[in-house]
């Protein structure tokens, strides 16, 4: 979820093959199931997420027949795992600890949950060592074994606030608020170039790239996505850039990064969707920080609001007079 809520975030292995004669005329969901070990229901979910393409064209219908010689490509979900071990050595920066949830300030470079790229040392492992009760949530089937309590997530290169549920009541309430767009999520982002408007809204559907399914793009058949922005400051050195306050109205995979790149202002140091390498930041670090998070308390219904200042690596790139 940098800004993803995880519901459409298939970030596991890649499937890429030329359809052989033995699979000719078979339904695509059946083929996915046969080749990957996914259930038909799971294969259906992967298809409807837009993570599957045939000859570089996204296929959403489970009953679509395949033909010999076609190129089948798919981004598969991380394989469910129940072997996430608690790890007390993983740093967990707790901002707010409540009976039903914990708000943490994720460090840049930290992976939220196990996936194809990293199995050990994730934030989930650190959380399990401190809050072993969250394991119950996966045991009861309320979430995937590799993601106990995870309501939202941030990309590895993004820092800042995210909330993790500790009880079934917390998980159901917080997940519901996220789904109904009641959770308020604000980010600070530094983008390339000078943004001309003082504020604006990028309203453009997002889906997977047909040519490169690991990338997200704006496409007419994608899922609804809205990102609001407001200019905080325009900078001229060492190159033209604009510091923005960003508000998510939806939570698609890589939403902020895709939307800002689409309007010609990619996030600084985002080599996946941008083009400029900033030597002052680490290789997968992007100038994107989840700075405030607000939601209703799962039991009392009172407003809960948390804030996190810019970490040192990002604060060093903007004037200290901004007080961020």
Angle, CA 114 vertex, CA 283 and CA 258 arms, to 5°: 50
Q: Which residues contact 138 (CB under 8 A, 6 or more apart)?
A: 82, 144, 145, 147, 148
| SS3 call for 200 | strand
Q: Catalytic one among 155, 203, 221, 278?
A: 155
CA distance 323 to 319: 8
CA distance 121 to 99: 25
DSSP code per residue over 13-27: -EEEEEPPGGGTT-B
DSSP 65: B
User: Which residues are paired to 200 by β-bridges?
Assistant: 229
Dihedral, CA atoms, 115, 117, 123, 129, nearest 10 degrees?
Answer: 70
- Identify whether 155 is a catalytic site residue: yes
The catalytic residues are: 155
């Amino acid at each position: 979820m940098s800004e993803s809520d995880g519901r459409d975030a298939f970030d596991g292995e890649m499937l890429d093959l030329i359809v052989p004669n033995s699979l000719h005329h078979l339904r695509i969901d059946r083929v996915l199931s046969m080749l990957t070990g996914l259930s038909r229901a799971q294969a259906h979910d992967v298809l409807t997420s837009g993570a599957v393409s045939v000859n570089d064209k996204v296929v959403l219908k489970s009953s679509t027949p395949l033909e010999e010689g076609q190129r089948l490509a798919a981004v598969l979900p991380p394989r469910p795992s129940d072997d996430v071990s608690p790890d007390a050595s993983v740093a967990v920066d707790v901002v707010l600890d409540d009976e039903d949830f914990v708000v943490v300030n994720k460090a840049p470079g930290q992976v939220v949950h196990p996936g194809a790229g990293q199995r050990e040392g994730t934030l989930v492992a650190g959380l399990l060592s401190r809050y072993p009760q969250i394991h119950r949530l996966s045991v009861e089937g309320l979430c995937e074994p590799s993601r106990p309590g995870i309501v939202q997530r941030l990309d590895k290169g993004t820092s800042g606030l995210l909330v993790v549920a500790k009880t079934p009541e917390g998980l159901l309430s917080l997940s519901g608020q996220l789904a109904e767009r009641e959770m308020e999520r604000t980010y600070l982002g530094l983008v390339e170039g000078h943004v001309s408007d003082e504020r604006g809204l990028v309203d453009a559907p997002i889906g997977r790239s047909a040519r490169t399914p690991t990338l997200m793009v704006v496409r007419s058949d994608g899922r609804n996505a809205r990102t609001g922005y407001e200019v905080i400051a325009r900078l001229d050195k060492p190159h033209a850039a604009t510091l923005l306050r960003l508000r998510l109205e939806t939570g698609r995979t890589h939403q902020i990064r895709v939307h800002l790149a689409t309007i010609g202002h990619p996030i600084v140091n985002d080599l996946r969707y941008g083009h400029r390498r900033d030597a002052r930041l680490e290789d997968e670090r992007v100038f994107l920080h989840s700075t405030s998070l607000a939601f209703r308390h799962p039991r009392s219904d009172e407003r809960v609001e948390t804030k996190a200042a810019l970490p040192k690596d990002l604060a060093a790139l903007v004037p200290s007079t901004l007080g961020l």
